């Protein structure tokens, strides 16, 4: 199913819409890749993803996203050897007011004086990395993904683990219930459909 739906398009570039406001209430299929290829986050063994230390903390940080961003619903996710798929929904009706502490969210994985990787020095805009130093818009998908990426890198820095994400990420807006169901199925079945060597 997933092959028919996506044909691995997330490997080819962002499907980001140039005029779309990424603070808009919608469901987003996100793919973030590690900077290096290979078994960076773990291995696929007999169709099952076996995470290593980085993969385990990556999974935990993804699960923690709704605790730090009350307007975000986590529908589905999977950690793969060198990338993650995350299906998120922005739903501002889940909170009376969207007030998250950007720059301190997800920072429990870092040292108190750790730098903000992916927030101030890097801004993701579509599949291009902005060279300017400025903030993504509050409440946007870019903020959420930057916080997730930064928290993982800070954890690795704290534990003297060499690790980095790619500067870009790939996104797709889920437009209907059929596509939502297919995307969930694609994510759940990703490990057993993966031909990544173990």
Does residue 123 form part of some domain? yes
CA distance 54 to 15: 28
Does residue 120 form part of some domain? yes
The whole domain housing 113 covers 2-193
Q: For the segment 47-78, what is each residue's pLDDT rounded down to a tens digit?
A: 999 999 999 999 999 999 999 999 999 999 99
Binned at pLDDT 50, 70 and 90, residue 93 comes out as: confident
Neighbours of 125 (CB within 10 A): 15
Does residue 93 form part of some domain? yes
* pLDDT of 109: 56
Neighbours of 80 (CB within 10 A): 23
- Contacts for 30 with CB less than 8 Å, ≥ 6 apart: 85, 86, 87, 88, 141, 145, 169, 170, 171
Residue 148 CA, chain-centre distance (Å), reads 6
Does residue 169 register a pLDDT over 60? yes
Residue 89 sits in a domain of what CATH number?
3.30.70.1290
Number of domains in the chain: 1
SS3 (DSSP) at 52: coil
Q: Is the dihedral of CA 185, 190, 191, 193 positive or negative?
A: positive
Q: For the segment 20-45, what is each residue's pLDDT rounded down to a tens digit?
A: 566 678 899 999 999 999 999 999 99
Does residue 198 form part of some domain? no
Instruction: Identify the residue whose tokens are 């996710």.
Output: 77
Does residue 145 form part of some domain? yes
* pLDDT of 81: 97
* pLDDT of 83: 97
* H helix runs in 83-176, sequence order: 141-158
Q: For the segment 95-154, what is each residue's pLDDT rounded down to a tens digit?
A: 554 444 444 456 565 443 333 333 333 333 333 333 333 455 677 888 999 999 999 999
């Amino acid at each position: 199913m997933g092959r028919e739906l996506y044909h691995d398009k997330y490997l080819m570039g962002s499907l980001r819409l140039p005029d779309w406001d990424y603070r808009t209430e919608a469901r987003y299929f996100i793919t973030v890749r590690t900077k290096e290829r290979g078994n960076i986050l773990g291995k696929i063994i007999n169709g099952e993803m076996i995470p290593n230390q980085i993969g385990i903390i990556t999974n935990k940080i993804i699960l923690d996203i709704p605790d730090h961003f009350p307007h975000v619903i986590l529908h589905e996710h999977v950690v793969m050897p060198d990338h993650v798929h995350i299906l998120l929904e922005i739903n501002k009706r889940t909170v009376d007011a969207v007030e998250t502490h950007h720059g301190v969210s997800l920072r429990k994985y870092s040292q108190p004086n750790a730098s903000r990787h992916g927030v101030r020095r890097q801004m993701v805009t579509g599949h291009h990395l902005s060279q300017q130093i400025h903030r993504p818009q509050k409440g946007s998908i870019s903020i959420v993904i930057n916080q997730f990426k930064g928290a993982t890198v800070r954890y690795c820095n704290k534990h003297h683990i060499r690790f980095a994400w790619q500067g870009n990420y790939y996104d797709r807006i889920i437009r209907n219930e059929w596509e939502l169901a297919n995307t969930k199925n694609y994510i759940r079945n990703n490990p057993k459909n993966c031909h990544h060597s173990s």
